[in-house]
Structures are given as structure tokens and as C-alpha cells.
Structure 1
Amino acid sequence: MKKNSPIEKPHFICIGSQRAGTTWLHECLSEHPDVFVPEQKELHFFNTHYEKGLEYYQSHFLEADENNKNLVVGEVTPNYYHDKTALLRIKEHYPNVKIIFILREPVSRAFSHYQLSSMGPFQGLSFKDAYQQFNVIKYLSNQSQHLQNVFEIFGNKHVLVKFYDDISKQPENFVSSVYKFIDVNVDFVPEKINQRINRIVLPDLQDKLNRLGLSFIIELVKKSPFSELIKKKFQGNSKTNNKNDLAEYKKDFTQDIEKLESLLGVNLEHWK
């Protein structure tokens, strides 16, 4: 298995989408014996910490070089997919990097986004109110333009596009296709393949820790016995709509979905 030179690490980056199973994928990648991802998910180098320089970024992968390990190296930061400046920076410094992009049905992604931020900027708002007042919810769910940017910058052959729904429907096939794309043993089955993993609903704190380079603290809490209690506590306080009422928002994404169908040559009628 041929690897890039050390200066070209990482070999792959999962760029998003937000609320599309990237934490689950990070855990599955971290278990693979031929893969190295930093324990800290979401390095945010290309969008938030770029001024710290490449040496800072490369420091997150030094552990992969210990004991002459021959590992495929990557990272997962789902904020990159909608940030064209970050994508161009990645291409500039790592022109051969492989990109993983997970798409999610736009309304369910939007609702999950709302739940994540229900104790942050959306506190006290119903989904309908948050959706109307914060354009970012719809912007991040309109994934076709972001995917087109990714294709134009990196080239289709360097991009693996997956669908969030397949994580629950076909988790083995999903993770195996990712392993194949990054050129590692596809027969390895991670222990957490059937475990649902979500971020804790503390968006403001997470954003502050990310800016300070301390997001590993959130990762430690997520892996603690208290994580599920915290999620239930804060998600229970959100003014959630009945999910059956979300169908009315689907019309807002019809054009975006049709563009995805054209870009990928797939049928996404079940999203409409």
C-alpha cells in the first residue's frame, strides 16, 4: 500500500455534512488498525486555526509516525464542506487528498441542526421560528452547491459521496466503502458500527472550545457515562415540532435535491 510522504498528510479528510453521521464515522475510522485519526475530532484548521500554520496542523498527526507505523492518516471536520475558502486551502496544501462527503436528507438535517442548537442560538424557539429566523439552517441543508464546489476544486475521482441513511440501513457496506476509498482493509468491522453516536447539545461551549483549540474536552465528555444524560436533558428542553409536521418544509429543497440528482446520477425521489 503506497502512502504519501509525511509532509502530505493527511491522506483523507471527511468534510461534512454537519449532522450527517461524521462522529460515527470518526469512531469507525479510529478503530481501524491501518488508520490514524486524531483523538480530537474536528480540528478546524482550515477555517478557524489557519493562522497557526501547517506545523501546528501537522502536529496532530505526529503520533502516526511513532514506531514507524505505516498508517493512512486523516481527519474529520464537518464544517469544511460549506466553506469554500477552507476547501481551497486544503487543495493548495494537499492536492492529492481524498475527500469524504456525507449527504443527508435536507429537512431531517435541518431539524437535527435545530436540536443541536436548542440550548444555544435557537433557545426558546420552535423549529418553525428558528428555521425562519436563521438562514444558516437552510443554507447548510442546501448541499448541492457545496457538493458542486467540492467537485470543481478536488475533481470527482478524489471525492467519495455517501448518504446518511445508509449508516442505519447498511452500516457495514457504508464503512467498507469508506475503507476501500482510503485504501485500507475493507473486511475490518469496527465494534461501534451499530452504535449511534451524537454530539452533546452544548453548541456555544463547543464553539468556544474549538476556537481555543480545546475541543478535546468535549470529546472526553462525549465518551463519558454522562453524555447521554446531558443530551436527553438539553434536547428535552427544545420546543420540537412533531416530526410528522416537517414534510411541509420539503418543498423548499426540491430544486436543491434535483441538482444533487443531476450531479450524482441518482434518484432521490424519497427525499422530495
Structure 2
Amino acid sequence: MNLKDQDLPNFICIGSQRAGTTWLHNCLDEHPEVFVPAEKELHFFDRFYDTGLASYTKRFTLEQRGPTKTWGELTPNYYQEPQALERIKRDIPDVKIIYILRQPEERAFSQYQLYSQGQFSGMSFEEVIAHKEFVTDLSMQGKHLQRLYSLFDRSQVLVLFYDELSQSPETFLKRVFTFLQVDPNFMPSTLNKRINRVVLPDLQARLAKWKLTWVIELVKASPIAEWVKEVAHKKSDKLGKSAFPDALRGRFDDDIKLIEQQLGIDLNHWR
């Protein structure tokens, strides 16, 4: 198997799920010095590894990426898959890793909102927490960070916070661009456009039940979509801890402590 090292990605965003990775993919895609495949989540290292590394490098050939300075991919499932991280370490030992962390309850609730019309249809958030263990495991970002640091040198890893993305997307993006050693002053058109946000989740669930999801699609495609998202999420952002099930109370405290220890920061506002 003839593989060209230059066709291997030199950065990978590994997660977290529901932490702005689709937005980041779109921003990176606009940067003239960065190449990312059109398909955001390649899932090579967790689902399609048996297809061979050659099938993976075909996504990053010089013909496809052109005269860019850096190229990579974003698959926000890699962080929770120990085998995926081990494979990345073995195949691309010098790769740069981007890992975005999000307040655990909020991350879980965002996942519930997104899939309330699909695999969580008909289930309350409390029921999902009680019966879908993988939802809370995806929020256990501290243990995944600890494993990441056990495999990769810290200089290869950029840890970011969804809080910063929400409050100052420009600052957030400049940190990413600086880490990737591309022009940090380039600002994409998607900078202030929030991607993959659920528009009025309660209403969407009802419309899906009534088979009227086409109505919400019209809203998403309309000029007022971003305004509707902002209004809806400003309201949801103010829900506070009382909105989360008792089953989540204190569940993430030890994991948050792990993040604090690994990064030397205070995340008391997450508790």
C-alpha cells in the first residue's frame, strides 16, 4: 500500500457532540488556507477503519485540497471511542487535535432536542437520561480528555469551550486558526450564523407528530430563521439547573473535576 504522508490530515476535530462542530466545519471550509472534505463526519477511525487507510487518504489528495496550508476533518464521535483515538495516534502520530467541551447537562439536553423527532421520539428528557446511557457518557468529557492526554502531547491538543463560541465566536475562531497556523484574521461569512440549532424544539416535536414538519422547514429556509433561533435559544439558555432531571444532579461533578485538574482551571459555574 503506497500512502503519501502529505495526504494524511494534519488536524482532526474529535468532538464533542453538540458543541459547535458543524459551525466550525463551515467556518474552516471558507478559509482559503484550509481544506476540509465536503462531508463533515467521515467516521473513518471509528466505523470504517476496515476499509483501509488508502481509502481515507483519498479524501485529502493534492488534487482535492489544492494550494491550502492545512487539511483535516471533523468527526465529533472520535472523542468517546478509545479505539478511534488509538488508531489516530498510531496512523497520524503528529496530528493536531481540536476538542470542544460543553457544560454536560446542556450538551445532553441539546442532544435530546435534536433527536426528539427521531430516536428519542415520544420520550421525555427524563426518560432519555434514565434509559439511554450513551447520552450521559457523551457528556463525560473529562474522562475522554484524560485519555486524550495519555495518548498525545499537550502541544498537539487545542481544548476549547462551547461557552466561548457562544459568547465570542470571533475569539474562538482566531484561536483555532492560530493553532492551525493559518491567517487568524480571516473571518468567514458563517461566523455569526449558528448551524444545526433546533428551531423551537417543542413546536418541532408537535409538528412532527402531526406530520407537518414541512412548516418548520419553511421557517428554517426563511430570512427570519436566525432570529427565531436566537429568541428560542436565549429562552432555553435561561432554563437553569431546575430544568434538568434530578437523575443528573451531581452526576457530572467528578468528571468536571477531572477537566479542572487536567486544565488547571475552575469550572464551578458548570456545577
Tell me the TM-score normalised to structure 2 length. Answer: 0.81
Q: Deviation per CA, 1:80-120: give whole Å up to 9, x if none.
A: 00001011111111010000000000000000111122123
* Residue 271 (str. 1) matches residue 263 (str. 2): no
Hey, what's the Cα distance between the residues in 1 that align with 2:65 and 2:163? Answer: 38
Task: Identify which of structures 1 and 2 has the higher relative contact order when contacts are C-alpha pairs closer than 8 Å and 6+ apart.
Answer: 1
User: 1:214 maps to which residue?
Assistant: none
Percent identical residues: 45
- Deviation for aligned residue 1:251: 1.6
CA RMSD of aligned residues (A): 2.6
Q: Deviation per CA, 1:195-228: give whole Å up to 9, x if none.
A: 1001789xxxxxxxxxxxxxxxxxxxxxxx7682
Of 124, 135, 138, the match for 2:136: 138
| Conserved 8 A contact 2:65-2:71 | no
Structure 1 segments, 4+ long, off by >6 Å, are none
2:78 counterpart SS class: coil
User: 1:228 maps to which residue?
Assistant: 220
Hey, what's the Cα distance between the residues in 2 that align with 1:179 and 1:253? Answer: 31
2:39 counterpart SS class: coil
Hey, what's the Cα distance between the residues in 2 that align with 1:66 and 1:128? Answer: 45
Considering only CA atoms, is the larger Rg found in Structure 1 or Structure 2? 2
- Deviation for aligned residue 1:157: 1.2
| Conserved 8 A contact 2:26-2:190 | yes
Change (3 A) 1:67 1:126: closer
Alignment of 1:47-196 (within 5 A): 47-62=46-61, 64-65=62-63, 69-196=67-194
**Which amino acid letter does the alignment assign opposite residue 141 of structure 1?**
S
User: 1:29 maps to which residue?
Assistant: 28
User: 1:40 maps to which residue?
Assistant: 39
| Conserved 8 A contact 1:107-1:246 | no
- Deviation for aligned residue 1:61: 1.3
Q: Deviation per CA, 1:10-31: give whole Å up to 9, x if none.
A: 0100000000000010011001
Structure 2: runs of 5+ lacking an equivalent: 200-216
User: 1:6 maps to which residue?
Assistant: 6
User: 2:243 maps to which residue?
Assistant: 246
Alignment of 1:209-220 (within 5 A): none
Q: Deviation per CA, 1:27-54: give whole Å up to 9, x if none.
A: 1100100000001100000111111111
Hey, what's the Cα distance between the residues in 2 that align with 1:32 and 1:128? Answer: 41
Hey, what's the Cα distance between the residues in 1 that align with 2:198 and 2:39? Answer: 15
| Conserved 8 A contact 1:47-1:83 | yes
Structure 1: runs of 5+ lacking an equivalent: 202-224
**Which amino acid letter does the alignment assign opposite residue 57 of structure 1?**
Y
